[in-house]
């Protein structure tokens, strides 16, 4: 590689560091769809007018440090800023990668806020990646959340079972066992990420009774073709993981080269509707800039024609008329 290119990539890594597990290093050797997610590119140095430092408004809805309260019944608890891998399109790239976990005083303040807010029913553990924490520390957090009567669900957003499957140990599974129902949302974007070890880790979670969902990001040049996402979603269903969200790529700084248009994403979802059953299909969503929440942006199959008549387009593109009962 020319020295000028090396210098450019060093600038990229200074801004957002490189981290890749052995599992994903091996997968990247044979898959461009994996490599492009983690290997730095000079395109990250391009800042576009629409790029934002806080694309989904974490800070705008933070009542105490480490907590985001955007919807009445759920909060996001940022227990760490560390991940096992750093995705080049990360919407938290301005903060993820900083060392350390949420300090004890801040964690206590966040838990006190949750305890004092009876409308909170669900706590989403994220970061960073919550499964980089030790089983002991995770167990302590789960126990403290379980002691809050109005909290009923804990949801983990994680890449660990796929990118660092050795972390899914009996000790970790035991740490999840409280009165709370732990849901695991697995971030994966390409079927080539689902290595033999990753599949075994997901099976360990499913066998332990942990409900599994997935979230993926629509990424130009990686999974922006119906056949690529079809392969991913079929593989996930076969592993007892329900595809949950397909995210439109957020307006993170330096990630513009990964973004598709919404129209392109809708066309892909329309194609998938004819190729996959409903169990395999996630909801295609846009996380509105500024922290205003997620909005489904799937294809528009219905168009009102007036007088209770609707024009309906089926998965083949054929148009039908449907009449509401009077």
H-run or E-run covering 283: strand 283-287
Choose the catalytic residue: 54, 86, 87, 224: 87
The answer to the question of residue 319 being in a domain is: no
Choose the catalytic residue: 250, 253, 280, 284: 250
pLDDT at 165 over 70: yes
Q: Predicted confidence band at 46 (pLDDT cuts at 50, 70, 90)?
A: confident
Count Cβ neighbours within 10 Å for each residue of 201-232 and write b for 16 or more, e otherwise: bbebbeebebbbbbbbbbbbebbbebebbbbb
Cβ pair 41, 52 in contact under 8 A: no
The answer to the question of residue 317 being in a domain is: no
Catalytic residue list contains 70: yes
Mean pLDDT computed over every residue of the chain? 91
Neighbouring residues of 197: CB distance < 8 A, sequence distance ≥ 6: 23, 165, 166
Peptide bond connecting 128 to the previous residue in cis, omega within 30 degrees of 0: yes
The answer to the question of residue 324 being in a domain is: no
Neighbouring residues of 230: CB distance < 8 A, sequence distance ≥ 6: 272, 275, 276, 280
Q: What distance in Å separates the CA atoms of residue 109 and residue 102, rounded to the nearest whole number? A: 11
pTM for this prediction: 0.91
Confidence at residue 6, expressed as pLDDT on a 0 to 100 scale? 65
Catalytic residue list contains 74: yes
Determine the structural domain holding residue 80 and report its residue range. Answer: 3-299
The answer to the question of residue 12 being in a domain is: yes
Residue 109's CB is within 10 A of a number of other CB atoms, namely 17
Choose the catalytic residue: 71, 177, 234, 275: 71
Q: What distance in Å separates the CA atoms of residue 194 and residue 51, rounded to the nearest whole number? A: 31
The answer to the question of residue 314 being in a domain is: no
The answer to the question of residue 305 being in a domain is: no
Catalytic residue list contains 11: no
Q: In CATH, what number is assigned to the domain containing residue 9?
A: 3.20.20.70
The answer to the question of residue 75 being in a domain is: yes
Least confidently predicted of 196-210, 256-270, 286-300:
286-300
Confidence at residue 237, expressed as pLDDT on a 0 to 100 scale? 98
Catalytic residue list contains 58: no
Catalytic residue list contains 280: no
Confidence at residue 18, expressed as pLDDT on a 0 to 100 scale? 82
Choose the catalytic residue: 54, 81, 83, 192: 83
Catalytic residue list contains 294: yes
Choose the catalytic residue: 74, 144, 177, 275: 74
DSSP 121-147: -EEEEESS-GGGS-HHHHHHHHHHHHT
Tell me what the mean pLDDT of segment 31-55 comes to. 82
Structural domain total, the chain: 1
Q: Give tens-digit pLDDT for 181-240.
A: 999 999 999 999 999 999 999 999 999 999 999 999 999 999 999 999 999 999 999 999
Region for 221 from its dihedrals, namely left if φ exceeds 0, alpha if ψ lies in -120 to 50, beta otherwise: left
Q: Give tens-digit pLDDT for 66-98.
A: 999 999 999 999 999 899 998 988 877 666 666
The answer to the question of residue 312 being in a domain is: no
Choose the catalytic residue: 177, 204, 234, 294: 294
Catalytic residue list contains 90: yes
3-state percent helix, strand, coil for the chain, nearest multiple of 5:
35, 20, 40
């Amino acid at each position: 590689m020319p020295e000028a290119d090396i210098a450019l990539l060093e600038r990229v890594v200074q801004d957002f560091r490189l981290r890749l597990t052995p599992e994903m290093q091996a997968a990247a050797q044979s898959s461009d769809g994996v490599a492009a997610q983690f290997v730095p590119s000079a395109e990250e140095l391009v800042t576009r007018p629409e790029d934002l430092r806080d694309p989904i408004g974490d800070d705008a809805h933070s009542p105490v440090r480490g907590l985001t309260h955007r919807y009445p019944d759920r909060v996001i608890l940022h227990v760490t800023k560390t991940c096992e891998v750093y995705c080049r399109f990360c919407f938290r790239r301005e903060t993820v990668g900083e060392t350390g976990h949420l300090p004890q005083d801040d964690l206590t303040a966040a838990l006190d806020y949750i305890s004092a807010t009876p409308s909170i029913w669900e706590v989403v553990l994220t970061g960073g990646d919550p499964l980089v924490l030790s089983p002991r520390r995770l167990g302590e957090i789960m126990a403290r959340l379980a002691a809050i009567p109005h909290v009923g669900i804990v949801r983990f957003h994680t890449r660990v079972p796929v990118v660092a499957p050795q972390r899914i140990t009996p000790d970790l599974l035991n740490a999840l066992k409280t009165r709370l129902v732990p849901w695991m949302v697995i971030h994966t974007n390409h079927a080539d990420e689902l290595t033999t070890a990753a599949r075994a880790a997901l099976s360990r979670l499913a066998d332990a009774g942990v409900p599994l969902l997935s979230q993926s990001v629509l990424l130009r040049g990686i999974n922006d073709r119906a056949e690529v996402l079809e392969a991913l979603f079929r593989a996930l269903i076969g592993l007892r993981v329900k595809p949950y969200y397909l995210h439109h790529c957020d307006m993170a700084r330096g990630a513009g080269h990964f973004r598709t248009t919404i129209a392109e994403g809708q066309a892909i979802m329309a194609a998938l509707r004819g190729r996959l059953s409903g169990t395999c299909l996630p909801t295609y969503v846009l996380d509105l800039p500024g922290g205003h929440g997620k909005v489904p942006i799937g294809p528009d199959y219905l168009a009102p024609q007036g007088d209770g008549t609707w024009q309906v387009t089926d998965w083949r593109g054929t148009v039908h008329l449907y009449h509401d009962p009077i």
